[in-house]
Amino acid sequence: MKGLTLAFLLMCCVFGHTQDEDYDLLSFYFGSSMSTGFLNKSLTNPILQFSRRQPGTINLNAEMLYNERFGMELMLGQQWNRFKIQEKITASDNRNYTVDNTLKNDFMRSGINFSMYNQVFIFSRSVTLMTKLGIEHHNIKETSVTDSEYFNIDNEDMSLNVTYPESRLSIRPEIGVMFGELSRYLNDYSWFLSISYNQRIQGGSTVATYSVNDALNGTLKRETNFESNGNALNFNIGIRKKIGDISWKKKEKEKKEKKPKKEKRPNKEKQVAQAPDPDKEKSNKDIELSRKITVQKNPVTISIWDNGKIDGDSVSLFLNKTPILENFLLKEEKYHLQVMLEPGENLIVMKALNLGSIPPNTAQLILDDGVTKREITLKSSLQKSGAIRINYEPSDSEE
């Protein structure tokens, strides 16, 4: 539990930053998940042995994500806990017998999770690291179960009495990875694998008493107690689908102009003021810089595609005002092209030719110089074009 919580906080610190873009995005997802794992247990003496202590769940999940990074998730599902315990007996006929007892209870579970996602590259494939921290409530209706059996060889009555708490509240950290594009038929879906731990913070334990009595006179021959506090280690698998999103333009922050500092000893020679470059002023108004990066090698491979809902976005790409991709319809499949950069600063601009059915035009790009891959989201409207400024600093081997 402590290890998972520490890992969650560490990933929040490392990846807890957002990209400064022109638009904010609110996405909505719906999905389902299943899990299994191991339950905590304890026995007061070694009369009984555990052959299985396994929880299982099936859940429905609804999640809301801000800028595909931070989110809140609601969960509703069904959980079942299974404990299979055994007693090995050497009877009066000198034969060995095994008595199996199964504890089980089914109940509803609900919860709320706060989540964070960060996209990384593992073995040249884009995956998403997922961290969650939530509160989970178990509503246990059946609170008492008794099961009795008669062992006729030794005339023994075996009784198992189980008491469950009415409810239980747990804190649940979770870490995992999420994949997309596993199949061309399911490219609108995301799959995830994760590990989580349920730590009880409120509610009682599951308590059981196993006793064996002489069937003739009722004398207690042996007894043991069993207890489970509800803590569990879970392995989860799930799938989700985006059902819609809402985007809006960020408010532009007014930059305060700094007052020029007064020079104590001004130069006697008059300085000639440089006339502003009209082309540069015009481009600054039409271009919104989304990212600044530095690369070390040529050529650079650019991959471009639409990673959201396909809505008919058409764009053109320019490198230093030279077209490198014209009138391109964004698709689910990646399109690759190679470009040569000039030493120093380079500017890639994505011009929107339309707005599609869901404005603004949004494209996902990967820039790969053979050393580092960077994934960037560009958004363009008919008034402003998203851009990436690339500083090309050739490595020693290229010089």
Higher pLDDT: 371 or 72? It is 72
Assign residue 181 a region (left: φ > 0; alpha: ψ between -120 and 50; beta: otherwise). Answer: left
Which domain CATH number covers 119? 2.40.160.20
Q: Is the same domain home to 193 and 72?
A: yes
Q: Is the same domain home to 224 and 168?
A: yes
120-121-127-130 Cα dihedral, nearest 10 degrees = -30
Q: Is the same domain home to 216 and 313?
A: no
pTM for this predicted structure: 0.58
Q: Are the CB atoms for 175 and 14 separated by under 8 Å?
A: no
Instruction: Please check whether residue 304 lies inside any domain of the structure.
Output: yes
Terminal Cα distance for the chain, rounded = 52
Q: Rounded to the nearest 5°, which phi and psi values hold at 21? A: -120, 175
Q: Is the same domain home to 241 and 294?
A: no
346 pLDDT tier (thresholds 50, 70, 90): very high
Distance between CA 330 and CA 348 in Å, rounded? Answer: 17
At residue 324, the 3 state secondary structure works out as strand
Mean pLDDT within 81-86: 79
Q: Is the same domain home to 13 and 144?
A: yes
Q: Is the same domain home to 316 and 240?
A: no
Residue 278, pLDDT > 50, answer: no
Residue 64 is predicted with a pLDDT of 93
Instruction: Please check whether residue 262 lies inside any domain of the structure.
Output: no
Residue 275 is predicted with a pLDDT of 37
Q: Is the same domain home to 118 and 192?
A: yes
Q: Is the same domain home to 293 and 225?
A: no
Among candidate residues 218, 246, 274, the one where a domain is terminated:
246
Range of the domain at 142: 2-246
Residue 17 is predicted with a pLDDT of 41
Among candidate residues 246, 261, 294, the one where a domain is terminated:
246
Residue 174, pLDDT > 80, answer: yes
Could you tell me how far CA 26 lies from the centroid of its own chain? Answer: 16
Among candidate residues 219, 246, 273, the one where a domain is terminated:
246
At residue 40, the 3 state secondary structure works out as coil
CB-CB neighbours of 160 under 10 Å? 20
Higher pLDDT: 16 or 386? It is 386
Q: Are the CB atoms for 157 and 216 separated by under 8 Å?
A: no
Q: Are the CB atoms for 245 and 28 separated by under 8 Å?
A: yes
Which domain CATH number covers 347? 2.60.40
Q: Are the CB atoms for 191 and 238 separated by under 8 Å?
A: yes
Instruction: Please check whether residue 13 lies inside any domain of the structure.
Output: yes
332 pLDDT tier (thresholds 50, 70, 90): confident
Instruction: Please check whether residue 91 lies inside any domain of the structure.
Output: yes
Written as one string, the DSSP assignment of 117-161 is EEEEEETTEEEEEEEEEEEEEEE----EEEEEEEETTTTEEEEEE
Instruction: Please check whether residue 291 lies inside any domain of the structure.
Output: yes
> Which residues, 6 or more positions from 313, have their beta carbon under 8 angstroms from its beta carbon?
306, 329, 330, 352, 354, 355, 356, 361, 362, 363
- If one counts the domains in the chain, the total is 2
Instruction: Please check whether residue 56 lies inside any domain of the structure.
Output: yes
List Cα–Cα distances, 310 to 65, 74, 253, 363, in angstroms: 19, 27, 31, 10
Higher pLDDT: 278 or 331? It is 331
Q: What is the pLDDT of residues 213-249, one digit of tens each?
A: 998 888 998 888 888 888 889 999 999 888 887 877 6
Q: What is the pLDDT of residues 283-302, one digit of tens each?
A: 466 888 888 888 888 889 99
Which segment of 134-148, 253-267, 284-298 scores lowest on mean pLDDT? 253-267
Q: Are the CB atoms for 34 and 236 separated by under 8 Å?
A: yes
Q: Are the CB atoms for 311 and 360 separated by under 8 Å?
A: no
The upper half-sphere exposure of residue 142, i.e. CA atoms within 13 Å in the direction of its Cβ, equals 12
Instruction: Please check whether residue 265 lies inside any domain of the structure.
Output: no
Averaged pLDDT of the chain: 78
Distance between CA 278 and CA 6 in Å, rounded? Answer: 54
Residue 35, pLDDT > 70, answer: yes
Q: Is the same domain home to 87 and 192?
A: yes
Residue 150 is predicted with a pLDDT of 80
Distance between CA 164 and CA 207 in Å, rounded? Answer: 7
Q: Is the same domain home to 198 and 313?
A: no
Instruction: Please check whether residue 12 lies inside any domain of the structure.
Output: yes
165 pLDDT tier (thresholds 50, 70, 90): confident
Q: Are the CB atoms for 305 and 364 separated by under 8 Å?
A: yes
81 pLDDT tier (thresholds 50, 70, 90): confident
Residue 7, pLDDT > 50, answer: no
Both structure tokens of 352: 């929107």
Both structure tokens of 223: 């007894």
Q: Is the same domain home to 298 and 228?
A: no
Q: Is the same domain home to 214 and 304?
A: no
Q: What is the pLDDT of residues 56-77, one digit of tens each?
A: 899 999 999 888 789 999 999 9
Q: Are the CB atoms for 143 and 163 separated by under 8 Å?
A: yes
Residue 9 is predicted with a pLDDT of 44
